[in-house]
Each structure stands twice: as C-alpha cells, then as structure tokens.
Amino acid sequence: MIAHEICEALYALPGGVVEPRRRSIFKPVMFAIIGVVLLIINVVAVYNSDALSMFLIVAGMSLLGYGVVVGVMRMVSDERVPYHTASHRYMRYKESFYDRQQLAALQRAVAMGDEGAIAAIEKSDIAVITLVSYSSSDGSIVGYALYEYVDMESRIIGKPTIKA
C-alpha cells in the first residue's frame, strides 16, 4: 500500500480520533442484492423481449458477481483504512500527480498545510511525484504524504504531515 506511512501517522494521533477499520461490506452486498433483483425481474416479468432479457441477465450477473467477489475479499482481507471516530465516517483518500519541478513548492505547501497553495500547483498526468492525502469529512483532520517514483517503486519524501 503506497499510503502505509500516512495511515500509521494518522493512527498515532492522540485520543484515538483516527482508528484502523476494515472496509464496510454494505456496498458490495447492495450490488449483489440489486443483481439478484434484476435476475428475478428477468424470470418473472420479461416474456417476449430477447434484448431486454439479455440485458437483465448480463447486468444482473455482473452486479451479483461483483458484489460477491468484493464482499468476500473485504471479509477475508486484513487491509484496514483510516476511520474518523468523531464523524463516524471513513476518511477520504486522494492522490494527485506532479512533475519533479513542482517538488519544492509542493513541500512548502504541504509543510504549511495550505490546501489553497496545493490546489494552485499545476498537476501532471505522470506519477513522478505523488501527493497522497486523507481527509475527514468535516475537514478537521487532513494528512499529507509525498512520494516519488524511483526504480519501479514509490518512496516517501520526508515524513507525513498531519493538519489537525
């Protein structure tokens, strides 16, 4: 996981405001249920429309398969993600990519925790420098970490910055 360091820094905040939790299986279960409903509609309500019947079968099986596979993977996985206990929500993950020329300006903006300055820096389509951020839904906690892509792997630049 590229953001392992930033997650550890968030978990180390005093008072247990951010804790590691397994991702919810609610969404995959809902996808699976919607897929089953589409398959039932195909069996019960569609009589003479081959195109509609095929659409319902493909959509239903796709949603059912996605829901089952992702749900099982989340149940057996040891992966944990940051959960903000005060807002009772998972923290939002975001990645932004920048050119190497932007590194100094990016390091200054991250050190100050200035979201406006970070947003003003020109982004790139190539992941030479990656800014990873986790933010709570109310914006009370934001964590940043900079990574550079060197020798076929991402390496952290400095220490993660937490703005609380």
Are 119 and 139 in contact by the 8 Å Cβ rule? The answer is no
Strand partners, 152: none
Are 154 and 147 in contact by the 8 Å Cβ rule? The answer is yes
CA distance 61 to 99: 42
Question: Mean pLDDT over all residues of the chain?
Answer: 90
CA distance 33 to 52: 19
Residue 1's pLDDT is 55
Residue type present at position 52: L
Note the pLDDT tens digit of each residue in 113-156.
Answer: 888 888 899 888 887 899 999 999 888 899 999 999 888 888 88
- pLDDT bracket for residue 164 (50, 70, 90): confident
Mean pLDDT for 23-27 is: 91
Give first-to-last CA distance, the chain, whole Å.
23
Residue 6's pLDDT is 87
Are 86 and 135 in contact by the 8 Å Cβ rule? The answer is no
Which pairs from 152-155 meet CB under 8 Å and 24+ separation? 154/2, 154/127, 154/130
Domain ranges of the chain: 4-22+80-163, 26-76
CA distance 111 to 74: 34
Are 21 and 13 in contact by the 8 Å Cβ rule? The answer is no
Vertex 87 angle, CA 86 and 90, to 5°? 110
Note the pLDDT tens digit of each residue in 52-89.
Answer: 899 999 999 999 999 999 999 999 988 888 999 988 89
**Confidence (pTM):** 0.76
Of residues 12 and 1, which shows the higher confidence score?
A: 12
